[in-house]
Amino acid sequence: MKDKQVLVRSAQLQDIADICRLCGQLGYPVEESGVASRLKTILADVEQAVFVAVNQNGGVIGWVHVLQVLYLETEPFAEIGGLIVEETFRGQGTGKMLMQAAEEWAIKNTLLDIRLRSNSIRENAHVFYKAIGYQHVKTQFTFHKRITG
Ligand SMILES: CC(C)(COP(=O)(O)OP(=O)(O)OC[C@H]1O[C@@H](n2cnc3c(N)ncnc32)[C@H](O)[C@@H]1OP(=O)(O)O)[C@@H](O)C(=O)NCCC(=O)NCCS
């Protein structure tokens, strides 16, 4: 059943605790102080945005982060930095609403290409992205090196 009572708005600093709780559900246990610092930076940056979904009780039940990416070899594009809907509110159209907010932000910023990367184990998310019009275009390896001074 679609929940018509959910609204999407820009994130505010007062949302930090809820954003952190949802980061945990996304698989990223985070320190609130680190999220607070990064959210302040993001909110002050015109090249990125965070939107939250709020239910009829005023509770934050999801968030999406969208940012402009600039690489030498391609036109600038928008990328989804993260997306999460509270476990008990999934399947009610909230993820789609958050993605629509991200897409509207991209269009306003003249970014007509929107991309995202999703871990291969997130099969439910892949079904979701296809349902809302995204195409799986390539599969990549991710490399990482911890730089120690
Ligand atoms: C992926 C996620 C954000 C989707 O949010 P959601 O609110 O549950 O999705 P919606 O209810 O808006 O679904 C939109 C469409 O996708 C479809 N869909 C979503 N999840 C689905 C699933 N598991 N299986 C089948 N279809 C699915 C819905 O049926 C709906 O289709 P419709 O518009 O034709 O009715 C949410 O499941 C989530 O937070 N997952 C865990 C975190 C995660 O994987 N994030 C993405 C990281 S890349």
DSSP state at residue 38? H
**Residue bearing tokens 């090196």:** 145
Tokens describing residue 83:
């997306």
Closest atom of ligand 1 to CA, residue 94: 7
Question: What pLDDT, in 10s, does the model give residues 19-38?
Answer: 999 999 999 999 999 999 99
Closest atom of ligand 1 to CA, residue 91: 11
Tokens describing residue 124:
């439910």
Give the Å distance between the CA of 135 and the centre of ligand 1: 15
Q: Which CATH architecture has domain 7-131?
A: 3-Layer(aba) Sandwich (3.40)
- How much is the pTM? 0.96
pLDDT at 3 over 60: no
Closest atom of ligand 1 to CA, residue 86: 39
DSSP state at residue 58? S
**Cβ pair 19, 25 in contact under 8 A:** no
Q: Is the dihedral of CA 46, 90, 94, 104 positive or negative?
A: positive
The 114-116 sheet, strands edge to edge: 7-10, 48-54, 60-69, 77-85, 114-116
Within the chain, what is the greatest distance between any pair of CA atoms? 52
Give the Å distance between the CA of 123 and the centre of ligand 1: 10
Give the Å distance between the CA of 148 and the centre of ligand 1: 38
